[in-house]
Every structure is written in structure tokens, then in C-alpha cells.
Structure 1
Amino acid sequence: MPQFAANLSMLYPELDFLDRFDAAAKDGFQAVEYLFPYDFTKEAIVAKLKANGLQQVLFNAPPGDWAAGERGLACLPGREAEFREGIAKAIDYAVALDCPRIHIMAGLVPEGLARDAAEAVYVENLRWAAAEAAKAGRDVLIEPINTRDIPRFFLNRQDHAHQIAETVGAPNLKVQMDLYHCQIVEGDVAMKLRQYLPTGRVGHLQIAGVPERHEPDVGEQNYDYLFGVIDEVSAQCGWQGWVGCEYRPRRGMEPGGTSAGLGWLRDWRQRA
């Protein structure tokens, strides 16, 4: 059975962030992920993890000015010093939270910049970040994201992400495979799971229903089937990663809405 982690940036939106840890544990989650921890002290988050018996399995490195629309610095020329400062901060948090993975957002391709120039910056930044993370025993992840949700995002396809990982050549650089983004950009998700999980370069999976990004039992993807594929391929190749539930609950800010929408997970647990 896949291991599911609650994404606390999207789930339980009616609660304050630190209260979402309690809610996730109450719903039976054993692990959590989210976008960014940096508005909170390491000590406050560690206390919530320990109090609820939760593992921290993923968070993002600083993305630049998120409020102003920045979505990562890794492909941006001239921002290398800020990128390195952010990676150092992320590693510091990862060690404190005992989190094995840091997602590095690629960023938006600047207007007028050729993609090959952005890729050269991206590769060099990732090479540096992977080396720094390796010193702390952490993996760094890159994620293809669809350009409907984030126009001009540099990395969009699984094959490109794996090509980048091969070019960088660091064993601790892995791909974060979000099946929601993959379906929107490429489709053929089951075959891509069969293709890429056995490579050892997929460090994390994420799910959401397509196209509304609600619970995985709503939309055009058959997640019952895909969870079976994950189980089948994992049994064959030994993949043991987590599946992040990165979706927006259909009931939005309604109190208890996230928990009410977890029927898909309860049903899967009963069948597994």
C-alpha cells in the first residue's frame, strides 16, 4: 500500500498551520509535507511533529519573493548568491526537522532569456545544491510543473527532469513526480510510473484530482488503478517513497471538510 503524507499547505485550510499537524495525525496520517516552514521556528515545528508521531518527509527551499509571484530561483541568472543562501537555510531546517528531502523549485524563465541559458544556470545551481545537501545527508528534488498552473515555469516534463538529473550526475538529486501535473502536461501516467520508478531517480510522488485539483477520487484519473500500479512496481523494484496528498479539499474552508473528503483514503486502507 502506498505511504500517504498530508500536505499541510493545502489540507485543513480552516485551521492555523501548526494546528494542522494535530488534524493530520487524528486522520491517521503518519507523515506530512508542505511548501515552506520558514514563517515558524524549527523548535515549534519539531514539537508538533514529536507530539503527533509524525515524520516530516518534504518541504521546499525558499522560492524568492513568493508574494510577488516568484516560483523559485534555480534557473535565474544573477540570483545565485540568494539561491545559495536559501539552500543553506533549507538544509538547516531539514536537519532540525529530520526531513530527508528538499524540493528546489526551478523558477519562471525570464522574458527574453533563452531556455538553454536558463538551463545552464539551473544545472550549475543544482550541482552546487546537491553537493551541499549531500554533506548533510539530504536529497534534493526537482519537480516538473504544468504551465497552466504556473505559466513560464522552467521544468514541465518528466523526461526533461530525468535528463537534468543525469546531466547533474549527483546521486542525491531526484525527481518529484506529481501525477496531477504529469496528467495535465503529458498523460499516460501509468506507463510513466512503470518507466521511472524503477530508475531509482524518483524521490517522491504527489497526487490530486484532475482538472480541479481536489481529492483524487474526483476527476479524470483513476487513482485506484494508479495506486495499484505504484504497489505493483514498488514490489518489483523496491521503491519505498511517500505519496504526498497535495490537493485542495472540495469543501474548502468548511470545518472538518478535509477529514470528510478522506473517504478515498479510508476505502483504500480497508482494501489494502
Structure 2
Amino acid sequence: MLKLAANLSFLYQELAFLDRFEAAAKDGFKGVEYLFPYGWSGPELFNLLNDNGLKQVLFNTSAGDWNAGERGLACLPGREQEFQDSITLALEYAATLQCPQIHIMAGLRDQTIAHSAQLEIYHQNLAFAAIECAKSNVIALIEPINAKDIPGFFLENVAMAASTLEVVGRSNLKIQFDVYHIQRTDGDICQQYLANADNIGHLQIANPPHRSEPSNGEINYPYIFEFLESEGYSGWIGCEYKPSTTASQTLGWAKEFLTC
């Protein structure tokens, strides 16, 4: 049985963030993820998890200045100390929330330096992060994101992610395989999964073209779910989609996986 986690940054937008935990639990979710925990205290969030019988399965490291358009620190020249501090903070939250994995946001391409130089910064920062995460038994994840949604995102496809894992060479550095982004960037979802299955630590789902619920769009998700079950995928699947109505009303596709 596939395990679904509600992404609280995307779902239940009609509710205040702290009220979304209870809403997810009422809909049958047993796990949650979201973009960033840093606006709240770790103990406050952990209490919400406990009160609602939920597990924290994922959150992101700092994106830098989100409002200014930054989308991660890992590849940015001259920001190495800030990146290291962000890893320390993320691991503090991971310990409090008992979260087994964190997503390390890559950041945007810097056209003022050579791609190879920026790639070296990215690899060095990821090596540092993976070593620090290993000390806490945490999986570090990297996610390819399509250039239509985030123009200039540095980690641009699965092939680059796989190459990065090979260069960095840390067993706790894995790929965050977002089916929505893979479809928009590469297509051929099942073959992309098979080629990288040993290095995939987490999945996320949404349906193009509008990033809506799995039952509303161009991807045949019943086929994808059967495929993942046949391949023995046992990790969490984050529901990181934009509901076409309310989140609860869009969960018909998920009833077989949720336990209310």
C-alpha cells in the first residue's frame, strides 16, 4: 500500500497553516510535508504532529530570500557560510520533528560565473550537507525542478541529479523524484524511475498542465500507482499539488490509500 503525505504548503489553503495538520489527519493522511518550518518553533510543530497522529516526512532547507526570488543556497557563490548555517538549522528542526529527510534546495543559475565553477560549489556544498546529515541519520534529498515553473533552477533534470550523486559519492544523498517536474522536464516517467530507483529517496505528485490533483490532468496516475507498487516503492509520496477545489474535495483518487 502506497503511503501518502499531505503537503501543507499546497493543500488546505482555505485554512491557517497550523490548522492544516488537523484537516490532513481528518482526511486520513498519516504523514505531512511542507516547504519550510522556520516560521514556527520546532516544539510547537511537533505537538501538532503528535496531537493529530502524524509523521513529519519532509521539509526544505532555507531557500534564501524567497520574496526576492531566491530558490535555494546550495549552488550560490559566496554564500557557503549561509548555506552551512541553513543545514545546521534544518537538522535542529529535523531532530525536534523526528523527520528522517530534508530537501536541499539548489538555487538558481548564476550567469556571472562558468557553469562548471558553479557546479563545483554545488557539489562541495552537498558533500558538506550529506556528511552533516549522516551524523544525525538524516537523508539529504536533491530535486530536479522544471524550468517552466522555476526558470533558471540549477538542478534542471534527473540526469544531472544522478550525475551529482555519483560525483558527491555519499550514500545518504538521494533524489527527490517529483513526477510533475519529471513529466514537464523529461517525460518517460516510468523509465526515468527505473533508471534511478536505487537513488530515489522520496516521491511527490501533481498533474500537469495546472499542477492539480492526480485525477485532473495529462498523467495516467492509476497506471503510475500500479507501477510503483509493482516496483516495491515503500517510501512516502508527497501530495504537492494545487487543488482545483478544496483539498478534501479532490481526494477521491486517494481513498484507497488513506485511512479515515
Q: TM-score, normalised by structure 1?
A: 0.93
1:254 maps to none
Deviations 1:111-168 (A, max 9, x none): 3222111110000000001001111111110000000000000011111101101110
Aligned partner (choices 205, 208, 211) of residue 206 of structure 2? 208
2:55 maps to 55
Provide the rounded CA distance (Å) in 2 between the counterparts of 1:25 and 1:143. Answer: 27
2:252 maps to 263
1:104/1:141 contact within 8 Å kept: yes
Provide the rounded CA distance (Å) in 2 between the counterparts of 1:86 and 1:161. Answer: 21
Pick which of 94-103 and 156-165 moved more: 156-165
1:250 maps to 244
1:123 maps to 123
Provide the rounded CA distance (Å) in 2 between the counterparts of 1:106 and 1:219. Answer: 28
Aligned 1:74-153 pairs, distance under 5 A: 74-153=74-153
Q: Secondary structure at the match of 1:177?
A: strand
1:213/1:248 contact within 8 Å kept: yes
Instruction: Return the offset for 1:16.
Output: 0.8
Provide the rounded CA distance (Å) in 2 between the counterparts of 1:26 and 1:78. Answer: 45
Provide the rounded CA distance (Å) in 1 between the counterparts of 2:202 and 2:30. Answer: 15
Provide the rounded CA distance (Å) in 1 between the counterparts of 2:153 and 2:22. Answer: 34
2:3/2:257 contact within 8 Å kept: no
Q: How many positions carry a matched residue from both structures? A: 258
2:2/2:257 contact within 8 Å kept: no
Please provide the CA RMSD for this pair: 1.0
1:193/1:229 contact within 8 Å kept: no
2:4/2:257 contact within 8 Å kept: no
Provide the rounded CA distance (Å) in 1 between the counterparts of 2:167 and 2:175. Answer: 13
Q: Percent identity?
A: 52
1:22/1:52 contact within 8 Å kept: yes
2:75/2:122 contact within 8 Å kept: yes
Provide the rounded CA distance (Å) in 2 between the counterparts of 1:148 and 1:177. Answer: 17
Provide the rounded CA distance (Å) in 1 between the counterparts of 2:171 and 2:196. Answer: 15
Deviations 1:207-251 (A, max 9, x none): 0011100101111100000001100111xxxx4211000001112
Instruction: Return the offset for 1:23.
Output: 0.3
Provide the rounded CA distance (Å) in 2 between the counterparts of 1:93 and 1:167. Answer: 28
**1:224 pairs with 2:217:** no
Deviations 1:82-133 (A, max 9, x none): 0001010000000000000010010001132221111100000000010011
Provide the rounded CA distance (Å) in 2 between the counterparts of 1:222 and 1:194. Answer: 17
Provide the rounded CA distance (Å) in 1 between the counterparts of 2:121 and 2:159. Answer: 19
